[in-house]
Structure 1
């Protein structure tokens, strides 16, 4: 549908009527040929910003998918880099693309790590978590980080109400809510369920000190507002 190498419309429909895990198992072989993969511009802008805060030792990519975040971690981390995802299909593709990394299959709402990492990232994953699930995600990342560790991720800024993007994302989210109301298993993917203020509050509740900076290099909306913010959530150095 998106390119000759990408999934067909039928394949996307089958995926959308599956669970999140099985849907991504199905999509994995063609995922990198879709617009759902985090663009290189976002990865590069994130790595550039973090380069001023590092270097770091061990890095973790939460909900790693096919491993795009490894391009950021490997440019910043001097030690082990690890990806975690609950889709076996996505992990299989990531393992093939980045054989030197460590891969763990696990649910991000119950991460199996304790103070193992200095840097944690995630790209394009928050939409797969309902607001009631985000605290468990953030608490798990907090446990996974060493004292002083950093959790960071780009988050889309709301587009102006007059823009096409506003109405496209609104329409998509409404369609997904209708789909999940009438079809099981649910497929959780929403573009507008992670407002910046709520995410910062939830990170603070998990123990982080969280700030947000405009992600330079990711572009701006026509009204001049940034397209993306970069969340920088620091675990206190004296955390016990």
Structure 2
């Protein structure tokens, strides 16, 4: 499915009926051949926008997966780069791709870092956290950063109700809620639980000063608003 090197429909079904951790362990060897990997365009646009704020010292990729965000951290940081994720399978793939990076297997809702990084990034992970779990995640990132450190990530508002994308994402989230109501363990992945306003509120509650700027390189909607924003949370 997706490509000759991607997972089959059967493999995706088994993954979807697993826990988040087990599902990603299973998907890890073929993850980079799926649309779930953060597109290069978003990574490049984020690195380009961050260039005016750097360079940074040590960098952290939160929920690193197979390491797509480490490309941005490596480009922006002059010191070490570290990836943290709770899937041993994903970390194994990332370690092979980035042998010069450090990796820590941990639940990012309880990260074991304290003032060790100047830049933290994250890509494509926030849908795996329920809204009530975000405070612990953001508080952990805040602790991990040195004073003046920056937490940066690309984010988009939900598509307008008049678009097909709105209904596709609404339908996906609905299916996931039904799946989690009738099947255990749950697989948390929702596309409509991370609006910019709610994310900003949670970041501010964790202690961050938050600004956003458009990622113009990713284009704009018909109403002129950008498809993606860059959130900049400063400690």
Same fold (TM over 0.5): yes
Shorter-chain TM-score category? over 0.9
Task: Give the Cα separation in 1 of the matches to 2:151 and 2:200.
Answer: 12
Structure 1 or 2: larger helix share?
A: 2
Asked whether 1:156 is paired with 2:156, we answer yes
Question: Residues 171-203 of structure 1: CA distance to partner in whole angstroms, max 9, x if unpaired?
Answer: 000000000011000000000001111110110
- Report the alpha carbon displacement of residue 211 of structure 1 after superposing the two structures with TM: 1.0
- Report the alpha carbon displacement of residue 43 of structure 1 after superposing the two structures with TM: 0.1
Asked whether 1:195 is paired with 2:195, we answer yes
- Number of equivalenced pairs: 235
Question: Residues 45-95 of structure 1: CA distance to partner in whole angstroms, max 9, x if unpaired?
Answer: 000000000000000000000000111011110000000000000000000
Task: Give the Cα separation in 1 of the matches to 2:216 and 2:139.
Answer: 28
Q: Report the equivalent of 1:6.
A: 6
Q: Specify the SS of the correspondent of 1:150.
A: strand
The 5 A counterparts of 1:13-92 are: 13-92=13-92
99-108 or 162-171: which moved more? 162-171
- Report the alpha carbon displacement of residue 16 of structure 1 after superposing the two structures with TM: 0.4
Q: Report the equivalent of 1:113.
A: 113
**Is contact 1:64–1:84 with CA below 8 Å preserved after alignment?**
yes
- Report the alpha carbon displacement of residue 218 of structure 1 after superposing the two structures with TM: 1.3
Calculate the aligned-residue CA RMSD, in Å: 0.7
Task: Give the Cα separation in 2 of the matches to 1:219 and 1:112.
Answer: 37
Q: Specify the SS of the correspondent of 2:218.
A: coil
Q: Report the equivalent of 2:220.
A: 220
Q: Specify the SS of the correspondent of 1:46.
A: helix
Runs of 4+ in structure 1 displaced over 4 angstroms?
Answer: none
- Report the alpha carbon displacement of residue 224 of structure 1 after superposing the two structures with TM: 2.4
Task: Give the Cα separation in 1 of the matches to 2:162 and 2:11.
Answer: 32
Q: Report the equivalent of 1:143.
A: 143
TM-score (norm 2): 0.99
Gaps of 5+ in 1: 236-240
**Is contact 1:160–1:221 with CA below 8 Å preserved after alignment?**
no
213-222 or 113-122: which moved more? 213-222
- Report the alpha carbon displacement of residue 222 of structure 1 after superposing the two structures with TM: 2.8
**Is contact 1:64–1:122 with CA below 8 Å preserved after alignment?**
yes
Question: Residues 104-135 of structure 1: CA distance to partner in whole angstroms, max 9, x if unpaired?
Answer: 00000000000000000000000000000000
Q: Specify the SS of the correspondent of 1:133.
A: helix
Gaps of 5+ in 2: none
- Report the alpha carbon displacement of residue 28 of structure 1 after superposing the two structures with TM: 0.2
Task: Give the Cα separation in 2 of the matches to 1:218 and 1:102.
Answer: 30
- Report the alpha carbon displacement of residue 157 of structure 1 after superposing the two structures with TM: 1.9
Task: Give the Cα separation in 2 of the matches to 1:222 and 1:2.
Answer: 29
